[in-house]
Amino acid sequence: MKGITQVIAVELKLIMRDPMSAFFALAFPAIMLWVKLRSGKPLPGGLPAIDATVPMLSIFVIGLAALVILPATLAGYRERRVLKRLRATPASPTMLFGAQWAAHMLLAALGTALLTVIGLAVYGLTAPVNAGSVLLAWILSALSLSSIGLLVGALVPSGRTATVIGLSLFFPMSFLSGAIIPRETMSGSMRAIGDLTPMAPAVRAIRDGWAGDATSPITLGVMVAISIVAGGVALRTFRW
C-alpha cells in the first residue's frame, strides 16, 4: 500500500511540474468561469448561471485530465520506453492504471475544489443540496471518462498522437454534452446529439446532485457500464 501511495505521489508531482497540464486543469477553468459569468444573466428557467456553471466546469476538468492529460502521459511513457522498464518490475497493468488514474483524478479534484471555492467566495455559488450524490456523480464521472482515456493510452504509440486523439474526443464531447454550454440554451437537436456522448451522463448526474434533484439510475448505470467495458478493453489491449 505504501509503495502504490508513493507512486501516486510521484506521478502527481510530475503532472504538476508540467506547466501546460497544471494551467489547463487548474487556471484555465477558473478563467472560463469568469468569462462565462460576466453577463450575470440567469439561465432559462431562472437558475443562477453560477449554480450551473461550476458543476458543468467540474466535468470539464475531469474530462481534460481523463481524456487528454492521462492518455498523453501513458503514451509518452511508452514512447520513452519507460513502460518497457516497468515491465521488468512487479508492476502490473492494473497497478499502473490505478496509479495513473489516482494521480490524474487528484489533479481534477484540485481543479474542482478551486472552482468551488472561487464560486462560493466570489460569485455566490449555492452549496450542493445533496453532497453525497455530487460526490458519487464525480467519482463515476472520473471512472467512466478515465476508462476511455486509459483505452487510448493503452494503444497509442506516442504522447503527441495521444494528445491529438484526446483533444479530438474531449472538445466535441464538452460542447455537446453541456460541460461548456448549458443544456438549457441548446437546441433540441444539439441536446439529442450530446446525449449520445459518454460525457452527457456525467453532466446530468452532477448537476442533478447539486440542485438536489433525483439522479436517474439509468444515468448512473451508463457511467458504470462505460467504466467496466472501456476499462476492461484497455486492460486486455494494453501494450508495454
Whether residue 198 contacts residue 226, with contact meaning beta carbons closer than 8 Å, is answered with: yes
Render pLDDT for 101-159 as a digit per residue (tens, 0 to 9): 999 999 999 999 999 999 999 999 999 999 999 999 999 999 999 999 999 999 999 99
Tens-digit pLDDT profile for residues 69-113 = 999 999 999 999 999 888 888 888 898 999 999 999 999 999 999
pLDDT in tens, 18-68: 888 889 889 999 999 999 888 778 888 889 999 999 999 999 999 999 999
- Report whether 63 contacts 173 (CB < 8 A): yes
The pLDDT assigned to 9 comes to 86
User: Residue 230's pLDDT is what?
Assistant: 97
Residue 102: which residues within 8 A CB-CB, separation 6 or more? Answer: 8, 11
In the block, which residue shows the cell 479534484?
A: 109
Decide: 44 and 184 in contact? Cβ < 8 Å: yes
Please provide the distance, in angstroms rounded to a whole number, between the alpha carbons at the two ends of the chain. Answer: 23
Provide the whole-model pTM.
0.94
Question: Are the beta carbons of 206 and 59 closer than 8 angstroms?
Answer: yes
Distance between alpha carbon 160 and the CA centroid of its chain, in Å?
19
Return d(Cα 92, Cα 7) in angstroms, integer: 13
